Amino acid sequence: MKDLQNDTADRAQAYQAARMRRAVIEMCRGPGQGYAGQGLELADVMAVLFHGHLREQDRFVLSTGHAAIALYAALWSIGRMTDEQIRTYGYDGTHVEESPLDDLDGFEVTGGSLGQGPSQAAGMALGERMRGSDAHVVCEVSDGELQEGSVWEAVMFAAARDLSNLTLLVNDNGEQADGATAEVLGIGPLAPKFEAFGLHAISVDGHDIPALRDALDAARAHDGPAAVIARTVPGKGVTTFDRFARVHYVRTDADTWQNAADELDAALAALG
């Protein structure tokens, strides 16, 4: 029975991930540009979080502001954003900005200044514990953000305060705005580094839904703060983006966006 339940959850979350990827393309092709690579790579992570892992009382902090497109897609997938809202992504005057403000439902912090989310998430986790809440705080942070010293201050604080209700979710895509993360400023190996700073570290394929689910569940159950390091591939799910050297931010023509949409429609049909 458990295997059947797991298979059902795997398929349901894979379907939601495909829906999110399709929404990402829809958001970007209107203005012709956007952080498509970020949204596509995080779709599996978001599907596991928002379609099973996060409870009503839990809090999700997106530290990587320019990855907001992935959170928009997740919020849309659970009915907290409308089709009309997400189609305004990146346009002048919209509240659905490429890097968001915290006045939008679903966004705990303003994430444009990178490396700040973990400190805020640690404060939230401590606050939740002090008021007797069983809320768990999950904070997404990118591998590039780990070049910021403030992240490691937050990690030391979380370990010192034994924040069992905090999980750092590292989007380890190996890429940042200026190039490969390892070439800009190497930050690995990540798991031993987090362990040395006092966090339990779990490395996982960020596109393996069952493994992601197990890793997040194990992090929540651990007696102490934990880091889940999810290895992801920018632009995951859209092979038509392979011609680009980098897909951190995509600016391209209408035909390319349509080809991406057609590819994801086929993926959705296979899962539906």
For the chain, domain boundaries: 2-238+253-271
Structure tokens at 179: 């190039």
200-205: strand order across its sheet: 59-62, 137-142, 166-172, 226-231, 200-205
Residue 28 has pLDDT above 70, yes or no: yes
- Other beta carbons less than 10 A from residue 141's beta carbon: 29
Residue 2 has pLDDT above 70, yes or no: no
Q: Which residue has the higher pLDDT, 92 or 180?
A: 92
Residue 177 has pLDDT above 80, yes or no: no
Q: Are 223 and 197 in contact (CB under 8 A)?
A: no
Q: Which CATH number fits domain 2-238+253-271: 3.30.70.1400, 2.40.30.10, 3.40.50.300, 3.40.50.970?
A: 3.40.50.970
Structure tokens at 261: 């949409």
Q: Which residue has the higher pLDDT, 187 or 209?
A: 209
Look up residue 52 and give its DSSP letter.
I
Q: Are 153 and 146 in contact (CB under 8 A)?
A: no
Pseudo-torsion of CA 92, 98, 101, 105, nearest 10°? 100
Q: What is the pLDDT of residue 246?
A: 78
Q: pLDDT digit string (tens) for 48-79?
A: 999 999 999 999 999 999 999 999 999 999 99
Q: What is the pLDDT of residue 4?
A: 53
> Cα–Cα distance between 182 and 165 in angstroms, integer?
30
Q: What whole-number percentage of the chain has pLDDT above 70?
A: 97
